[in-house]
A and B are shown apart, each in its own frame.
Chain A
């Protein structure tokens, strides 16, 4: 009886010690300094994003791609040394790095891309209407002021305020993945960001009511295809594979893919 207790206590103490060492251990030193270092490394990405698509090209060069459900999970894994770097869009990358002093972004951008809204192939009218609305918003500077409200030194100074109350053309359901600041993210219960304001502006000029559906990034295209949502707006880049299944509007902004690494 006594021995069982002693053995158990020892085991428990050993387990606690193990947990303590786990807490104290440091993440390994950074090994990615330029894009040339990527082959053979473990790259963290968010499943189905452009970063995932581009990073997958390195699989044939011996890299391992860890596909997380959320960009933030990939960043967490990077902090703990589970992956060597994370490939993600530049704006969310800046937000992640500003909140984690132990991370930094490689100066060399990984890839350039253009964001667009995706619409089901059967819905060509909607695509044309949105293109028209986007052209107007670009011409009158609304789009610029929406983007400036989130990126740059004047952030927060030019919020977009929806003034439209005429919903005669029905509802515009927007599928998004609100894990992607500053394009779409949650502020309290509300989903906000560049994409949300832009979609609101588009809905206003089309005289439609905007409704937002938050879902996993890799479900957005399927939701739009099946008609569960009318548009998908989530910092989405036009790629050949995506074009096979879905249509895109004109691009509304450009962005870059960058590589986040540990600072030390």
Chain B
């Protein structure tokens, strides 16, 4: 027991090492929150283009680009996308690493979110659309007022899943020397040479974040379902 306390002090208190975790948490949250927001925007746009194409046959070129985008992003590992973003796309442009990470993770998340949204739009019975159109609503209005609200409710669990994955996936940003939460633990590990405390400590922080996120989503799901009965 005594040695655990000592190890805790050595790993987190000595030399203010908790700062690596605290600052890392800030970086991780910054990347994850922005990536979720831009991921939703990108994903929604791509999903609307693709499902509009599937239903009406419009947007041929745009649909081709969207398909290419999802294929490339889903077909390559996140770490490589991040490294390509850092060492190739933003090779000599003086932008901050956090920005590079946000761009990389947003693009990555967008591809997955688009498929989630698309499955949601497809899951709404086509009778709903027909009803909307026969009531005189335009395609866009039918989409916005009838299809998307129902689709969103259907995809919420899958969407929450994607955000949890994204939050944990940001742990690879250490590859571009970004001091995120995982890297914070690694830095402590490189100073104290103790594996247990930093690794488990960081894991607990991730776990807490994911628990809070799932709790929030469950609550949201409940509120959205209240209209069903």
- Interface residue ranges, A against B (CB under 8 Å): 1, 4-5, 8, 12, 19, 22-23, 25-28, 44, 47-48, 52-53, 66-69, 73-74, 76-77, 80-82, 218, 221-222, 225-226, 241-242, 244-246
Contact = CB atoms under 8 A, between A and B. Distances in A.
B170 to A, nearest CB: 16
B193 A222 contact: yes
B92 A47 contact: no
Given A8-B61, A47-B186, A225-B195, 10 more contacts: A1-B59, A12-B65, A23-B91, A47-B183, A67-B186, A68-B177, A69-B175, A77-B87, A221-B193, A222-B189
Contacts of B92: 22-23, 25-27, 80-81
Interface in B148-207: 174-175, 177, 179, 183, 186-187, 189-195
Given A4-B62, A25-B92, A246-B193, A218 B177 contact: no
Contacts of A12: 65
B93 A67 contact: no
Contacts of A221: 193
Contacts of A26: 92
B77 interface: no
B94 interface: yes
A25 B93 contact: yes
A120 to B, nearest CB: 11
Interface of B: 58-59, 61-62, 65, 87, 89-94, 97, 174-175, 177, 179, 183, 186-187, 189-195
A71 B183 CA distance: 16
Contacts of B183: 47, 67
Contact of B187 (A22, A44, A47, A246): A47
Nearest to B189: A218
A122 B65 CA distance: 60
* Among B61, B186, B187, B190: residue with most chain A CB under 10 A: B190
Contact of B89 (A8, A22, A27): A22
B190 A244 contact: no
Given A8-B61, A69-B175, A77-B177, A22 B191 contact: no
Interchain residue pairs A-B with the least CB separation, the first 8: A48-B190, A245-B193, A66-B177, A25-B92, A222-B195, A218-B190, A221-B193, A68-B177
A8 B65 contact: yes
Nearest to B174: A69
B193 A225 contact: yes
Contacts of A241: 191-193
Given A67-B179, A241-B191, A241-B192, A8 B93 contact: no
Nearest to A74: B177
A242 B175 contact: no
Contact of A4 (B59, B87, B91): B59
Contacts of A22: 89-93
A5 B61 contact: yes
A76 B62 CA distance: 36
30 contacts: A5-B61, A8-B65, A22-B91, A22-B93, A23-B91, A23-B92, A27-B92, A28-B94, A44-B177, A47-B183, A47-B186, A47-B187, A47-B190, A48-B186, A48-B190, A67-B177, A67-B179, A67-B183, A67-B186, A68-B177, A69-B175, A73-B175, A74-B177, A80-B92, A82-B97, A218-B186, A218-B190, A222-B193, A225-B195, A246-B193
A67 B94 CA distance: 18
B87 A80 contact: yes
Contacts of B94: 28, 81
Contacts of B89: 19, 22
Contacts of A23: 91-92
A44 B86 CA distance: 15
Contacts of B62: 4-5, 8
A80 B90 CA distance: 9
A60 to B, nearest CB: 11
Contacts of B192: 241, 245
Given A22-B92, A25-B93, A80-B91, A67 B194 contact: no
A241 B14 CA distance: 12
Nearest to A68: B177
